[in-house]
Amino acid sequence: MPELPDLERFRTYLNATALHETVKRVRVPDTRVLENVSAPELDRSLRNREMETVDRHGKFLFVRCQDGKRRGGIDLALHFGMTGELAYYKDDESAPEHPRVVFDLASGYCLAYDCPRMLGRVRLVKDRDAFLRAHEVGPDAMEIGEGAFREGLGRYRGGLKSFLMDQSRQAGIGNVYADEILFHARLSPKAKAMRLSRAEARRLYRSMRRVLSLASERKGRRERFPRTWITPRRRRDDPQCPRGCGSVQVGRVNGRTTYWCPGCQEH
C-alpha cells in the first residue's frame, strides 16, 4: 500500500534510473488509469521531453518533463493507489505483469507504471501548486511543522486515525502508517483529536516524524521494520503487542482495518 515511505522509494528509484533520460514514446496498455489526458495526448505531450527532476508530495510523485526547444515544462503526476509501482527495464521479459503506462526512453530502456488493481492515476499537471490546492492536498507530512500540526489537531472534530489519514491536513499517511504512528504515540485511534493535551499532541507529531523517516530509510519494506513496531504484526493470527501487554486488537475504525493495543494505547 503505497504511502509516504513507499513513495520515497519510488522517488529514489526513478532518480537512479530514468532521470535525465528522454521520452521517445508513451504507450498506454490500459487507458483507465489516465485521469485528465488521453493516450495520444500523453504521448504527444511527453515525446522528446527529458525527465528532469522528480519530487514527492504526500502520495504523489511529480516528474518534471522538459524540452529544450519547447517553452515551459510539464509535470507528469503519478498516484499509485494501493498496488502501484515503477519498473525500469530493457528486455521485455523483465517487464512487470501489469504495465498500464510505459515510457519508452531514448536509451532503449522503459519505465513502466505498473498498477495491478487500477486504483492509481496518471495525469499531466501544468501548475503543481494549483493541482494540489484543487485536490485539497495539504502540506507533506514530513514538511509540516509542529505548530501547524497541533493547530490542525485542535480544530479537528473527529478521531485521531481519520485525522492522520486526512490528506488535506498533512499528506502521505495511509491506513498502515496511521496505525504505526498511533502505536508509537501510545494513543488510541478512536481518541478525539481536539481533546489531546499539548504533550500528547507533541508526542503524536514526534511519532509521525520518527515512524515516517525510519520507514523511508528502510524503503518501506515491512520485513526490515524493527520488531518493536506493530506493522509486522498485521495479517498474523493472534497478533501480540510488541511491548508485551497482550493481544493486539483488530477492528474497524472509520471503515478501515485497524490494529491497536488497548493495553498501551489509552483514551
Partner DNA sequence: AGTACCACCTGACGGC
Partner DNA sequence: TGCCGTCAGGTGGTAC
Q: Which residues of 237-267 are buried (b: 16+ CB within 10 A; e: fewer)?
A: eebebbeeeeebbbeebeebebbbbeebbee
Q: Is 135 in the site for DNA (CB under 7 A)?
A: yes
Q: Is 215 in the site for DNA (CB under 7 A)?
A: no
The residue count for binding DNA (CB under 7 A) is: 32
Q: How far is the CB of 193 from DNA (least distance, A)?
A: 8
**Alpha-carbon dihedral angle through residues 207, 183, 81, 165, given to the nearest 10 degrees:** -70
Residue from 26, 114, 162, 241 touching DNA (CB under 7 A): that is 162
Whole-number Å distance between alpha carbons of 185 and 261 = 12
- Cα 139 to Cα 9, 23, 57, 66, 97, distances in angstroms: 19, 30, 8, 25, 34
Q: Is 1 in the site for DNA (CB under 7 A)?
A: yes
Stretch 20-59: interaction string toward DNA, x if CB under 7 A: ------------x-------------------------xx
Q: Is 117 in the site for DNA (CB under 7 A)?
A: yes
Whole-number Å distance between alpha carbons of 167 and 47 = 32
Give me 87's grid cell. 519498473
Q: Which of 3, 50, 85, 180 is catalytic?
A: 3
Q: Give the end-to-end CA distance of the chain in Å, rounded to a whole number.
A: 28
Cell 522538459, located at residue: 66
Q: Which stretch binds DNA (CB under 7 A): 45-53, 66-74, 116-124, 218-226?
A: 116-124
Whole-number Å distance between alpha carbons of 153 and 181 = 15
Our CB check for DNA shows the closer of 77 and 110 to be 77
Our CB check for DNA shows the closer of 40 and 158 to be 158
Our CB check for DNA shows the closer of 109 and 229 to be 229
Q: Is 2 a catalytic residue?
A: yes
Q: Which of 2, 96, 99, 139 is catalytic?
A: 2
Stretch 170-209: interaction string toward DNA, x if CB under 7 A: ----xxx---------------------------------
Q: How far is the CB of 81 from DNA (least distance, A)?
A: 5
Residue from 158, 243, 246, 247 touching DNA (CB under 7 A): that is 158
Indicate the length of the chain as a whole number: 267
Q: Is 256 a catalytic residue?
A: yes
Which residue in 28, 73, 82 sits closest to 49, CA to CA? 73
With beta carbons less than 8 A apart as the criterion, state whether 91 and 37 touch.
no
Interface residues with DNA (CB under 7 A) are 1-3, 32, 58-59, 79, 81-83, 98, 116-119, 135, 155-159, 162, 165, 167, 174-176, 234, 254-257
Q: Which of the residues are catalytic? A: 2-3, 59, 256
